[in-house]
Amino acid sequence: PRPIWLTRHGESIFNQQGLLGGDADLSPHGEAYARNLAAFIRGRARELGEASGMPGEPAWIPDDVVVWTSSLRRTMQTSRPLTQRSISWRALDEIDAGVCEGMTYDEIRLKMPHVFEARSADKFRYRYPRGESYEDVIQRLDPLIIELERQRSPMLVIAHQAVLRALYAYLMDKPPHTCPSLPIPLHTVIELIPTAYGCEERRFQLGP
Ligand code: F6P
């Protein structure tokens, strides 16, 4: 069974400031995570490839890992230290917060209380004005999930909080409406290994 690793991009300048969305660069911490991630994936792919192959004949090698990123700078910058081939998909871009892009949650609460309240009341279905809902995100991920399941290589998906909640819920068979509150922290690799009964999960917190 091949692993699927899910991770958010390294910390961005927007994350540091608590701002939603945007297309910011990585912070120095985020860049350090990108380097840690490359080293981790190399080591872990070797370990799992050897464990699932025959002696002297690993089932896969680190270079077999296929890396998917979104089309946003912070995920592509996170993939930079990786030497494996990488493909970027717009379908993996973060939930579009529409008129709230670039704001903090506090600002939304103060300046657009109706948006804040409506989203809190039904985070799954609530669509940001000129933006998306979680439901919308799940829909646009559909073709990508088909492609993900077709892949035979170990996969590393570098994406964003909302998108990874949706992907994780799908892969772990969680009810879709529960996905908006699933914890997907920064600087953590979620390893999913498909088994006969679903997926075996491990989480690796890489720091900094
Ligand atoms: O704060 C980081 C971020 O990825 C934002 O860009 C995005 O709007 C948000 O997380 C999604 O999380 P939530 O749905 O909990 O607001």
- pLDDT of 196 above 90: no
pLDDT for position 161: 98
Q: Which residues line ligand 1 (CB under 6 A)?
A: 20-21, 94-95, 97, 160-162, 180
- pLDDT of 208 above 80: no
The SS3 call for residue 166 is helix
Tens digits of residue pLDDT in 27-67: 999 999 999 999 999 999 999 999 999 999 999 999 999 99
Q: Whose CA is nearest to atom 8 of ligand 1?
A: 20
Residues 6 or more apart whose CB falls under 8 angstroms from that of 197 comprise none
Q: How far apart are CA 133 and CA 72, in angstroms?
A: 19
pLDDT for position 26: 98
List the one residue out of 144, 139, 152 whose CA is nearest residue 179: 139
- pLDDT of 172 above 90: yes
pLDDT for position 197: 86
Q: How far apart are CA 134 and CA 177, in angstroms?
A: 8
Tell me, in angstroms, the distance from the centre of ligand 1 to residue 27's CA. 17
Average pLDDT over the chain reads 97
Tell me, in angstroms, the distance from the centre of ligand 1 to residue 21's CA. 7
Tens digits of residue pLDDT in 94-128: 999 999 999 999 999 999 999 999 999 999 999 99
Indicate the pLDDT class of residue 180, thresholds 50, 70 and 90.
Answer: very high
Instruction: State CA 29 to chain mean position distance.
Output: 18
Do you know the residue count of the chain?
A: 208
- pLDDT of 200 above 90: yes
Structural tokens at position 119? 């989203």
Residue with tokens 């088909």: 146
Tell me, in angstroms, the distance from the centre of ligand 1 to residue 206's CA. 21
Q: Whose CA is nearest to atom 2 of ligand 1?
A: 20
User: Could you tell me the CA-to-CA distances from 99 to 21, 86, 118 in Å, in that order?
Assistant: 11, 31, 14
Q: What percent of the chain is modeled with pLDDT above 90?
A: 97
Q: Strand order in 4-8's β-sheet?
A: 86-89, 66-70, 155-159, 4-8, 188-195, 198-205
Q: Is 160 a catalytic residue?
A: yes
Q: Which of 9, 42, 44, 187 is catalytic?
A: 9
Q: Which of 11, 15, 36, 165 is catalytic?
A: 15
Quick check: pTM over 0.90?
A: yes
Class of residue 61 by CB neighbours under 10 A (exposed 0-12, middle 13-18, buried 19+): middle
The stretch 4-32 carries a mean pLDDT of 98
The stretch 119-144 carries a mean pLDDT of 98
